Amino acid sequence: MASSFKDDPDYLGPISATPQKMVETMLSMAGVTSTDVVFDLGCNDARVLVTAASTAGARGVGVEIDEAAVNKARAKVRLHICIRRRRSSFRGRRC
């Protein structure tokens, strides 16, 4: 008989991203500002961190154990940094 994920002691449950509308509502309710550092445990694609940075200017720290999600998050953060650099006419390293 084939084993299922329920039998795997390392299975942590399904991975799903928080909907963007919910992210915006959470950050608004929390009153996140540019002086805050947002910590996101299980950050998945880093949407909470990127939204906090882009809407409030907050800094962020993401923690993720899924390697594919880490790669997505890093790409999303790099893109966000590139966009911010272009908006502020930053003359630095190319994105």
51-95 pLDDT tens trace? 999 999 999 999 998 899 999 999 999 998 887 766 554 444 444
- What is the rounded average pLDDT for all residues in the chain? 85
**Total residue count of the chain as it appears in this document:** 95
46-53 average pLDDT score: 95
What integer pLDDT is reported at residue 8 of this predicted model? 82
Say what the pTM is: 0.77
What single DSSP character describes residue 83?
H
Q: In angstroms, rounded to a whole number, what is the distance separating the alpha carbons of residues 79 and 19?
A: 19
5-17 average pLDDT score: 78
What integer pLDDT is reported at residue 83 of this predicted model? 77
